[in-house]
């Protein structure tokens, strides 16, 4: 696989970070910035019951709890921040599913942009947080275990968007489930992304689960197992200009083989009005296993086999690097 970097943040002024322990926000609109936070057993940054807090230009090294944990924090902004779960084992699942890099609850209109997330149970998990805006998201080596394992997981969070992202899961170390999970969250847009790697026997690259309305557009996948694009008990979801190449039909890193036998576009029988438009595939391990169940996909299914270069990954730079 050959991919060129698409770097975000190049040319930013340099900065130095101040070493810090865990931080708890204390006021509306508070600015938390230019800290290197090391946290053991508690969240690196906690925001609760406060609106319009801004976290920017921070590096958060966490273990034993979430990196950033917020609730009832409408209008929160997180930008230009790196969050690393330092308690992950050398390979395989985290000791708990509650070790997310960023976790949010009951917080509308959150903005998360230009962040790098590493080795969390999930990168971003949002529950009951409508209208989230996420863009320029770089994520690596997510560790689960179930029900986590995603770069982004939305739960009951309507009208969200995820744009310009890269999720990279090395086969030898990661323990993902779905890479992007849209669960009971309607009218969500997932756009301009690259997903490289998923060794889960039951996970998919981008999954809309029990959702009404949704768009996955201009997303590429590489080295996927159980599926690249999926809808389960969903309706009105469109996969537009989606592309998949070089998936795998064998188990990786001690995990079971893909349960689907290398399916690429999945639409469960409980789904309806699913569309696959202007999409492409190349060098698949089971090229006869492209789409299931075609009865719930609106014809015509626009899939063509042709070689293509993967889109550039989103790589975020920081002022202290």
Return the pLDDT at 2.
47
Query: Within a domain: residue 301?
Result: yes
Query: Within a domain: residue 170?
Result: yes
Domain with 121, as residue range(s), is 93-316
> How far apart, in whole angstroms, are the C-alpha atoms of residue 53 and residue 70?
10
- pTM of the predicted protein model: 0.96
Q: Residue holding tokens 């947080």? A: 129
Tokens at 175, concatenated: 């323990």
117: CATH: 2.160.20.10
> How far apart, in whole angstroms, are the C-alpha atoms of residue 74 and residue 97?
25
pLDDT tens-digit profile of 200-256? 999 999 999 999 999 999 999 999 999 999 999 999 999 999 999 999 999 998 999
Overall domain count for the chain: 1
Return the pLDDT at 6.
60
Query: Within a domain: residue 311?
Result: yes
Return the pLDDT at 8.
72
Query: Within a domain: residue 85?
Result: no
> How far apart, in whole angstroms, are the C-alpha atoms of residue 233 and residue 244?
23
Q: Residue holding tokens 């040319």? A: 11
Query: Within a domain: residue 249?
Result: yes
Query: Within a domain: residue 100?
Result: yes
pLDDT tens-digit profile of 123-166? 999 999 999 999 999 999 999 999 999 999 999 999 999 999 99
pLDDT tens-digit profile of 173-195? 999 999 999 999 999 999 999 99
């Amino acid at each position: 696989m050959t991919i060129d970097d698409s770097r975000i943040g190049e040319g930013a002024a340099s900065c130095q970070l101040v070493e810090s322990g865990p931080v708890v926000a204390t006021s509306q609109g508070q600015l938390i910035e230019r800290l290197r936070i090391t946290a053991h057993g508690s969240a690196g940054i906690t925001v609760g019951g406060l609106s319009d807090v801004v976290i920017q230009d921070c590096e958060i090294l966490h273990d034993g709890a979430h990196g950033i944990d917020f609730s009832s924090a409408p209008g929160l902004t997180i930008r230009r921040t790196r969050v690393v779960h330092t308690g992950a084992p050398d390979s395989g699942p985290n000791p708990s599913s509650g070790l997310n890099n960023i976790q949010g609850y009951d917080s509308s209109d959150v903005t998360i942009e230009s962040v790098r997330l590493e080795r969390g149970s999930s990168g971003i998990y949002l529950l009951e947080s409508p209208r989230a805006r996420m863009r320029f998201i770089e994520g690596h080596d997510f560790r689960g275990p179930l029900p986590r394992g995603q770069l982004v997981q939305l739960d009951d969070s309507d009208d969200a968007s995820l744009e310009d992202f890269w999720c990279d899961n090395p086969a030898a170390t990661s323990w993902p489930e779905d890479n992007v999970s849209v669960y009971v969250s309607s009218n969500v847009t997932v756009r301009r992304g690259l997903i490289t790697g998923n060794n889960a026997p039951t996970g998919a690259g981008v999954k809309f689960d029990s959702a009404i309305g949704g768009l996955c557009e201009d997303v590429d996948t590489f080295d996927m197992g159980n599926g690249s694009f999926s809808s389960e008990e969903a309706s009105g979801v469109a996969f537009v200009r989606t592309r998949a190449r070089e998936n795998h039909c064998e188990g990786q890193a001690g995990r079971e083989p893909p349960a689907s036998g290398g399916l690429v576009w999945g639409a469960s029988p409980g789904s309806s009005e699913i569309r696959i438009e202007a999409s492409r595939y190349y060098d698949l391990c089971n090229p006869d296993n492209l789409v299931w169940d075609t009865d719930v996909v609106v014809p015509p299914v626009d899939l063509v086999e042709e070689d293509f270069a993967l889109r550039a990954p989103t790589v975020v730079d920081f002022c202290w690097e």
